[in-house]
Amino acid sequence: MFEKLKSIQARYDELCSLLSDPNVIADQEKYRALSKEQASLEEIVEAYSRHISAKEQLDALSPMLSDSDGDIRAMAEEEKQELVERLAALEEELKILLIPGDPNDDKNVILEIRAGTGGEEAALFGADLLRMYTRYAERHGFKAEFLSDNSTNIGGVKEVILSISGKKAYSRLKFESGVHRVQRVPETESQGRIHTSAATVAVLPEAEDVEVQINQNDLRVDVYRSGGHGGQSVNTTDSAVRITHIPTGLVVICQDEKSQLKNKEKAMRVLKSRLLERIQTEQEAAYSENRKAQVGSGDRSERIRTYNFPQGRVSDHRIGLTLYKLEAFLDGDLDEMVDALTVHARASMLAGGEA
């Protein structure tokens, strides 16, 4: 492990030197690529630096451990124990950091929410999830953009598609894919009985043009007038766009914009991301039958979390974690859960789980 860390440190030092080279700075494409590589190594290098510092401090204690003064020896022994524990913790941290990262972690996200079982109550819960993720995006300085919004008359969400962009957006949201279940007395229920309904969340890494090449002959593009609620003039022109990818049968509809061109651009972003997900899923299936290191399969059909309003709790079924802070959670305070899922995934990989 330490030979690998030395080579990473050497590469990091080389990158620092290259990034100050005027010729590299002038080549913006190369500069961006090297900056991205440097950033990916920074956390490992910092942890390795802390390990070297702790090791040097431990080595420096040797004379004190054999000092003739008993008090000095006792103080040195106490400090030695602290340093040994710190080194052990740093070595575990370094092992985790050396696990190959998810290549999608730095990508932006296409996030889709769909009402599931439960009728109007499921749609209202979908709206709660929408607010939860937009608030989470705000907390992290991410940009959330609506790509498609199919809402109900009383404020529920039948289907909504968001683009969420920002540093490490996918790494923070990738474990949200799956079925989210809610238990509460619905606003639509007059008898005061607790109902269970659900909404489905899909988190896709947003595809870059170089990753997914689409043959225009494989597309069928239909335009029509927007339906449902919308701003003035939205449903008076043929601005809505439905794109069908003929080889796969994937269909994307966007109708939020007044401009047909803008709706088509948004629909293509969603289509490319869905195709990228399909390609990656097929590749992963060929490589491995399971994805334990990703905390469950990540399959949208898998029930991952329950939001229980009467008890004010939210429980993640993949890692057995329950938090009694439902109100704050729905206001976008997801970090404790996200961090726990990330740690669990890394620990699983460290223990030998297959990606």
pLDDT at residue 162 above 70?
A: yes
pLDDT at residue 308 above 80?
A: yes
Q: Identify the pLDDT of residue 283.
A: 62
Q: Identify the pLDDT of residue 233.
A: 44
DSSP strand pairing (303-308 vs 313-316): antiparallel
pLDDT in tens, 236-256: 567 888 889 988 888 888 887
The residues facing 196 across adjacent strands are 183
pLDDT at residue 52 above 80?
A: yes
Q: What is the band of 326 on the pLDDT scale with cuts at 50, 70, 90?
A: very high
Least confident of 207-221, 271-285, 288-302: 288-302
**Mean per-residue pLDDT for 70-98?**
87
From 175, 248, 165, select the one nearest 208 (Cα to Cα): 165
Dihedral angle at the C-alpha atoms of 136, 140, 143, 147, nearest 10 degrees?
Answer: -30
pLDDT at residue 235 above 60?
A: no
> b/e map of 307-329 (b: 16 or more CB within 10 Å)?
bbbeeebbbbbbbeeebeebeeb
pLDDT in tens, 93-105: 888 778 777 778 8
Q: Identify the pLDDT of residue 286.
A: 52
Average pLDDT of the chain is 84
Q: Identify the pLDDT of residue 251.
A: 87
**Mean per-residue pLDDT for 150-166?**
88
Domains of the chain by start residue, with CATH:
2-97 (1.20.58), 109-206+297-350 (3.30.70.1660), 216-286 (3.30.160.20)
**Mean per-residue pLDDT for 217-237?**
65
CA distances from 107 to 43, 279, 339 (A): 18, 16, 18
Q: Identify the pLDDT of residue 279.
A: 78
Q: What is the band of 346 on the pLDDT scale with cuts at 50, 70, 90?
A: confident
DSSP strand pairing (219-224 vs 195-205): unpaired
pLDDT at residue 290 above 80?
A: no
Neighbours of 200 (CB within 10 A): 21
Residue 158: enclosing H or E segment and its boundaries? strand 157-165
pLDDT at residue 190 above 90?
A: no
Least confident of 56-70, 109-123, 185-199, 319-333: 185-199
pTM (2 d.p.): 0.65
In percent, the amount of the chain with pLDDT more than 90 equals 35
Q: Identify the pLDDT of residue 314.
A: 97
Measured in whole angstroms, the distance separating CA 173 from the mean position of its chain's CA atoms is 3
From 146, 164, 252, select the one nearest 240 (Cα to Cα): 252
Q: What is the band of 301 on the pLDDT scale with cuts at 50, 70, 90?
A: low
Highest mean pLDDT among 179-193, 220-234, 308-322: 308-322
Q: Select the more confidently predicted residue: 320 or 36.
A: 320
